Structure 1
Amino acid sequence: MQETIAHEEIKRTGVIGIIRVPTAEDLIKIAEALYAGGLTCIEVTMNTPGALKFLESARSRLPNIVLGAGTVLDGISAREALLAGAQFLVTPTVELDILEVAHRYGVPAVIGAMTPTEILAAWEAGATFVKVFPASVLGPRYLQEIHGPLPQIPLVPTGGITAENAAEFIRAGAVAVCAGSWLVDRKALIEGRYDALTERARKLMEVVKKAREA
């Protein structure tokens, strides 16, 4: 598949920020805060209330952000997300119908997998990137072991990624990392401290950049 802006931006920056919050309130403010920290690729999960409405409004209000839909579980949801404005799709598991939709509309698909068999199957089915999940359980060493025999597969660890461990995953062979709960800190949101999200985004971007340059 020809590279899209989303594909190129994920590869260039090496970071996808995940927004998964219990209410639709302030989704735009959260995205703006992350962007202020240098994060340009943002995924909003489909189990976030108002996710589709956010995608519809954010494409015009946040033109410099590459927006994706995450936790996509079936082809119908994938199509709805793309029609709402999503520029890439992210799944927690290997879902071939979602890949079919992604290919049909020419958008990147970050397909979730855990075992070597799942990872290879996702790649051979046409995944743009393979999301290694849950990274918090598997760890950087697991990613390194997978990368050894399968260096051609662009791996994106997800789950428990922070500024403290992101560099380890990059050095283990990750082309990018996905960060969610650490990045969009729930306590900071409750207190309305969006600057804290900006600072976390900035720190994560710096860590990944340095790890790539090392």
Structure 2
Amino acid sequence: MEGGKAILSISRSPFRPFSPVPQTTIHLRHYSRSPLSAVSPLHTTSSTLPEPLKQIHKAGIVACLRAQNVKTAVEAAHAALAGGVSVLEIVITTPGALEIIKVLCKDYPSVKFGIGTVLNIEDARKLTKAGAQFLMSPCTVMEILHWFRGSEILYIPGVMTPTEIFSAYNAGAEVVKVYPVSALGGEKYISTLRKPFPTIPMIASQGITTGSVGKYINAGASAVVLSDAIFDKEAMIKEDFDEIKRLAHLVTIEASLARKGNSKL
């Protein structure tokens, strides 16, 4: 919202893997804050925050699923959820992403489901209409950020530099995704960013492995995005869903222990 008015006109991006859809109704919340407020990002449990963000803070993990077909995607999702995952992102390039999100939202009403690699407002509207509760991008798509700002839908823009972090936050982002974090220095980069931006919630994404989840959380990440660490490539090819369940259980325990052992939490 800008000046108490909802933004109703958004320019279109050139990326349109899906056909445009009619405008959806978004229930807006009142939104106001001072830049870099003194509230700790690891204590942001206010009722004004979107429910997906509350769950992300609580879980410390966002499972990122990409698959070659609907059947494998759904079964892999079931396995990860059985292993303890409570926030699941489906990459938009997964065939049948819309159908998958509809099925999962119906079967698991307490889990927060979202779509990743969303690059334009047309897709964003269509995906949220299908049931996606949060959206992620590898970069900051201002059209999406402005459209969902202050709404019940959580948009998580991708950022890399300090300037991008502050720009996204100042434009209304409630949390940012630091990507590609392993190429930028891993948990040390998160720790470095926390010094100038101690109150901006950051989710670390890309290349995070089993065993390093706790390091990122201890460095100041509100949560981490895990892809291969849960949906192991070989396990996905072999459809070894027991292994996916085991990995999901392993990393959820690791995140839980890290959060309990972090005095800031």
Q: Write the deviation string for residues 142-168 of structure 1: whole angstroms up to 9, x where unpaired.
A: 111101110111010000112211111
Provide the rounded CA distance (Å) in 1 between the counterparts of 2:258 and 2:216: 9
Structure (1 or 2) with the larger CA radius of gyration = 2
Q: Distance in 1 between matches of 2:140 and 2:92?
A: 16
TM-score (norm 1): 0.95
Residue deviations 1:158-185 (CA, integer Å, cap 9, x gap): 0011221111111110000100122111
Deviations 1:85-125 (A, max 9, x none): 00011111011111123226421111100000001111111
Question: Is the aligned partner of 1:55 residue 2:101?
Answer: yes
Q: SS at 1:26's partner residue?
A: helix
1:102–1:55 Cα change, 3 Å: same
The answer to whether residue 50 in structure 2 is matched with residue 4 in structure 1 is yes
Q: Is the 8 A contact 2:190 2:219 kept in 1?
A: yes
Alignment equivalent of 1:141, drawn from 170, 175, 188: 188
Matches within 5 A, 1:36-47: 36-47=82-93
Partner of 1:121: 167
Partner deviation per Cα, 1:14-40 (whole Å, 9 max, x = no partner):
110000123223222111111111111
Tell me which residue corresponds to 2:40: none
The answer for the alignment partner of 2:130 in structure 1 is 84
What secondary structure does 1:16 align onto? strand
Q: Does residue 32 of the first structure (1) align with residue 46 of the second (2)?
A: no
The one-letter code of the counterpart of 1:189 is M
Unmatched tracts of structure 1, length 5 or more: none
> For residues 150 and 170 of structure 2, what CA distance do their matches in structure 1 show?
17
Residue 160 to residue 23, structure 1, CA distance change in 2 (3 Å): same
Give 4+ residue runs of structure 1 displaced > 4 Å after superposition: none
Asked whether 1:96 is paired with 2:142, we answer: yes
| d(CA) in 2 for partners of 1:20, 1:123 | 28
Alignment correspondent of 2:177: 131
Q: Specify the alignment match of 1:197 in structure 2.
A: 244
CA contact (8 A) 1:162 1:204 kept: no
Q: Equivalent pairs: percent with the same residue?
A: 33
Aligned partner of residue 21 in structure 1, secondary structure: coil
How far apart are the structure 2 equivalents of 1:73 and 1:117? 20
Provide the aligned C-alpha RMSD in A: 1.3
Show CA shifts across 1:120-144 (max 9, x none). 1111111121100001212111111
Matched, 1:13 2:54: no
Mark the runs of 5 or more structure 2 residues left unpaired by the alignment: 1-30, 32-47
CA distance in 2, matches of 1:178, 1:101: 24
Q: TM-score, normalised by structure 2?
A: 0.77
Q: 1:192 to 1:22 in 2, by over 3 A?
A: closer
Shift of 1:203: 0.8
* Aligned twin of 1:108: 154
Q: In the alignment, is the contact (CA less than 8 A) between 1:78 and 1:101 conserved in 2?
A: no
